[in-house]
């Protein structure tokens, strides 16, 4: 076995990046050679967290190629969200908190999925089971991911374990959860600096529905009008992304992290619009649908939509 | 959520049956209503273990029907090896030590797979993490599964953790591992009492290869001639099973638990015979191939064959 390359999903968010870092640290401490890499550049929120705890962003790769023959996946398990040549390499382990997708293996391996709000909560348990201490800067990154994924424990994906682990990590990292958490979340909401395409696709993932890839993006804001005032431009960018990547449709969820409500912007066929209306029980008017109380793509956006197909 | 029905794979072996029992006990201790059931009758070896530790065999089900809406899978994750209406119910959790097959979920769930020799080794870790004590009779069943799956720690699937956990369980159960282990393994090798069809299919599982189900059975013996003297009859039974169930081919691995060698008996097209010869590097003569040093279907039989397709 060569060095294990450890990475999270494409369009990496704070959990994808920092889970690669913390899981790599854990493997290294267990005497396993591993390196954290990323399937894309870090976003502003992640950059904020990395800077806060004095860590570098992992180098970006697109494929494994001849770099190694063994990888570990964190914060994802579906091939669509992974490295392009995943099928060519061996998977050492998977640590994830998403639904189980098309992942298969030729041999037994370590595959730990739990229905927590964040992958780092599982990784915290792995540290505990292995009896390995978490350094302050790693704890800070792990906490950042939990804050990011649970929107400071407000998302319905948040479990008791996420809260418990988050508080334990804050203690190790020596930060005030509320104060640091709000600063972290706000750091990722600078919409004005983003292009329309970055707004739509920055955190987007593809989900197979009726055999076709539906693109679902999400952007956190402190005022939804920061996005809605650029609606025409964003819709145009979504159309271009659909054409360029042959998506069946595109749904962008604009989430207000202060009120925990969202607006959905969408582009797709009449049939797709009907699926969206059925899934969320509202009306699509002018490519837009009101999504009150919706903050979690994983729990409140994807499953209802998928179940209409 | 209704009561969780917990079960192992079809054609249950000792791990499938006893992991359902131990995992159900663990869930019950955590305040979760659960019942261990089985997707088939217990075999002689499992009956021996249940009797030894004063436990009843779980009731047999074929489908879930209206019994509950939630299940937990142990010792398997592939739909082909599970309950017929798995797609109709929600899966609470999966604990398994096999390769990851076609399992998918609509929502996040607990899915713990580890490359150990036995599912019970993972369940032992779950007991430890939860801080729940293992009663003597449950420990005895868990140990029985580890002995069965690792052929008393001799199979190449055996990990250091299986040994460590096995010894810890033997201590709790109050048995001598070697003495009890050999008695347990021998209890399952009474070939004379079995019909040809039971010999071939008693512990068989289906594996998808090139899109078609290949049936692979395994039987442990203390003398391979106990099976080979009935070769004609067994081959005929395999042919009947192929026809009745539309298998692409059938491979039966006859394993001598004392010498750790096997003989393969097979029925299939010329093409399948070539795949078998390529996979195991021997020659098929008269529906038979020598498999020296082969004791593990999971590690030494399925992956080499699958990789030729």
Distance from CA of A278 to the nearest CA of B (A): 17
Distance CA A102, CA A111 (A): 13
In this model, does residue B81 exceed pLDDT 90?
Answer: yes
Cross-chain Cβ contact A100/B99 below 8 Å: no
Which among A98, A100, A107 has CB closest to B103? A100
Q: Are A129 and A236 part of one and the same domain? A: no
The per-residue pLDDT for range B97-147, each reduced to its tens digit, is: 999 999 999 889 999 999 999 999 999 999 999 999 999 999 999 999 999
Across the A:B interface, residue pairs with CB atoms under 8 Å apart total 75
What single-letter DSSP state applies at residue A137?
H
Q: Which of residues 95-114 of A touch B (CB under 8 A)?
A: 97-114
The C-alpha atoms of residue A139 and residue B144 are separated, in whole angstroms, by 41
Is there a contact between B299 and A125 if contact means CB atoms under 8 Å apart? Answer: no
Provide the residue-wise pLDDT of chain A in tens; the chain has 309 residues.
689 999 999 999 999 999 999 999 999 999 999 999 999 999 999 999 999 999 999 999 999 999 999 999 999 999 999 999 999 999 999 999 999 999 999 889 999 999 999 999 999 999 999 999 999 999 999 999 999 999 999 988 999 999 999 999 999 999 999 999 999 998 988 898 899 999 999 889 999 999 999 999 999 998 999 999 999 999 999 999 999 999 999 999 999 988 889 999 999 999 999 999 999 999 999 999 999 999 999 889 999 999 999
> Does B198 share its domain with B161?
no
Q: How many whole angstroms separate alpha carbon B203 and alpha carbon B252?
A: 10
Q: For the domain that residue A67 is a member of, what is the CATH number?
A: 3.90.1640.10
Domain that holds residue B266: 193-307
Query: How many domains does one find in chain A?
Result: 2
- Domain stops at, among A161, A189, A217: A189
Cβ separation A109–B113 shorter than 8 A: yes
Please give the angle made by the CA atoms of A296, A300 and A304, to the nearest 5 degrees: 150
Distance in angstroms (rounded) separating the CA atoms of residues A95 and B111:
10
So what's the pLDDT on residue B1?
Answer: 64
Q: Tell me the percentage of chain B whose pLDDT exceeds 90.
A: 90
Neighbours of A63 (CB within 10 A): 13
Q: Which of B218, B199, B14 is nearest to B120 (CA)?
A: B14
Looking at the structure, tell me whether residues A163 and A30 fall in a common domain: yes
Interface membership of A86 toward B (CB under 8 Å): no
Of the candidates A269, A251, A151, the residue with the CA atom closest to the CA atom of residue A201: A251
Contact list in A for residue B105 (CB cut-off 8 A) is 99-100
pLDDT of residue B107: 87
pLDDT over 70 for what percent of chain B? 100
From chain A, the residues in CB contact with B101 under 8 A are 104
What single string gives the DSSP state of each residue in B39-98? SS---HHHHHHHHHTT-PPPEE-S--TTS-SEEEEES---GGGS-TTGGGSEEEEEEE-S
Residue B110: which of A114, A129, A307 has the nearest Cβ? Answer: A114
CA atoms of A306 and A206, how far apart (whole Å): 12
- pLDDT of res. A1: 64
Instruction: Looking at the structure, tell me whether residues B13 and B30 fall in a common domain.
Output: yes
Q: Given A167, A189, A211, which residue is the final one in a domain?
A: A189
Lowest mean pLDDT among A10-19, B183-192, B266-275: B183-192
Closest among B115, B112, B121 to B91, alpha carbons compared: B112
Question: A-chain residues within 8 Å CB-CB of B129?
Answer: 125, 129
ipTM: 0.82
pLDDT band at B189 (very low <50, low <70, confident <90, very high): confident
Residue A233 distance to chain B (closest CA, Å):
33
Note the pLDDT tens digit of each residue in B190-206.
898 899 999 999 889 99
Mutate to test the interface with B, among A111, A125, A150, A159 (most CBs of B within 10 A): A111
DSSP string, A230-273: THHHHHHHHHHHHHHHT-SEEEEEEEETTTTEEEEEEE--HHHH
Distances A7 to A19, A57, B307 between C-alpha atoms, Å: 8, 12, 26
Distance from the Cα of A110 to chain B's closest Cα (Å) equals 4
CB pair distance less than 8 Å for B108 and A97: yes
Dist. CA B231–CA B244, nearest whole Å: 20
Who contacts A171 (Cβ-Cβ below 8 Å, separation ≥6)?
Answer: none
Structure tokens, A139: 């704890």
Separation between Cα atoms, residue B112 and residue B94, nearest integer Å: 6
Q: Which chain A residues touch B125 with a CB distance below 8 Å? A: 129
Residues A227 and A278 in one domain: yes
Across the interface, whether the CB atoms of B112 and A107 are under 8 A apart is answered no
CATH no. for residue A263? Answer: 3.10.310.20
User: pLDDT at residue B258 above 90?
Assistant: no
Helix, strand, coil distribution of chain B in percent, nearest 5 = 45, 20, 35
| Distance from C-alpha of A154 to C-alpha of A169, rounded to nearest angstrom | 18
Distance CA B246, CA B259 (A): 34
What is the distance in angstroms between the Cα of A105 and the nearest Cα belonging to chain B? 5
Candidates A100, A102, A105; nearest CB to B99: A105
What is the residue-averaged pLDDT of chain B? 95
Q: Is residue A141 located within the same domain as residue A203? A: no
Pairwise CA distance, residues B248 & B238, whole Å:
11
**Chain B neighbours among A 112-141 (CB < 8 Å)?**
112-116, 125, 129
A230 & A286 share domain: yes
**pLDDT on residue B188:** 85
Nearest-angstrom CA–CA distance, B143 and B49: 9
The dihedral through the CA atoms of A71, B300, B195, B142 has a sign that is negative
Tell which of B144, B169, B189 closes a domain: B189
């Amino acid at each position: 076995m060569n060095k294990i390359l450890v990475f999270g999903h494409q369009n990496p968010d704070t959990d994808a990046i920092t889970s690669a870092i913390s899981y790599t640290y854990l493997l290294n401490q267990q005497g396993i050679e591993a390196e954290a890499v990323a399937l894309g550049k870090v976003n502003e929120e992640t950059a904020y967290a990395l800077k806060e705890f004095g860590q570098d962003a992992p180098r970006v790769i697109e494929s494994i190629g001849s770099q190694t023959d063994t990888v570990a996946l964190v914060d994802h398990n579906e091939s669509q969200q992974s490295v392009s040549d995943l099928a060519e390499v061996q998977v050492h382990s998977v640590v994830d908190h998403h639904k189980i997708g098309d992942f298969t293996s030729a041999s037994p391996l370590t595959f730990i999925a739990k229905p927590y709000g964040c992958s780092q909560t599982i990784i915290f348990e792995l540290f505990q089971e292995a009896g390995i201490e978490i350094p302050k800067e790693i704890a800070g990154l792990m906490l950042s991911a939990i804050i990011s994924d649970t929107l400071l424990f407000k998302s319905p994906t948040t479990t008791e374990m996420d809260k418990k682990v988050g508080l334990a990590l804050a203690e190790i990292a020596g930060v005030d959860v509320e104060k640091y958490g709000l600063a972290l979340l706000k750091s990722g909401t600078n919409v004005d600096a983003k292009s329309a395409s970055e707004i739509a696709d920055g955190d987007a993932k593809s989900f197979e529905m009726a055999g076709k890839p539906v693109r679902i993006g999400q952007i956190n804001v402190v005022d939804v009008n920061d996005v809605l005032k650029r609606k025409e431009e964003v819709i145009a960018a979504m159309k271009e992304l659909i054409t360029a990547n042959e998506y069946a449709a595109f749904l962008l969820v604009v989430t207000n992290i202060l009120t925990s409500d969202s607006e959905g912007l969408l582009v797709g066929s009449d049939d797709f619009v009907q699926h969206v209306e059925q899934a969320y029980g509202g009306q699509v008017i002018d490519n837009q649908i009101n999504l009150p109380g919706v903050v979690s793509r994983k729990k409140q956006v994807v499953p209802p939509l998928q179940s209409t197909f």
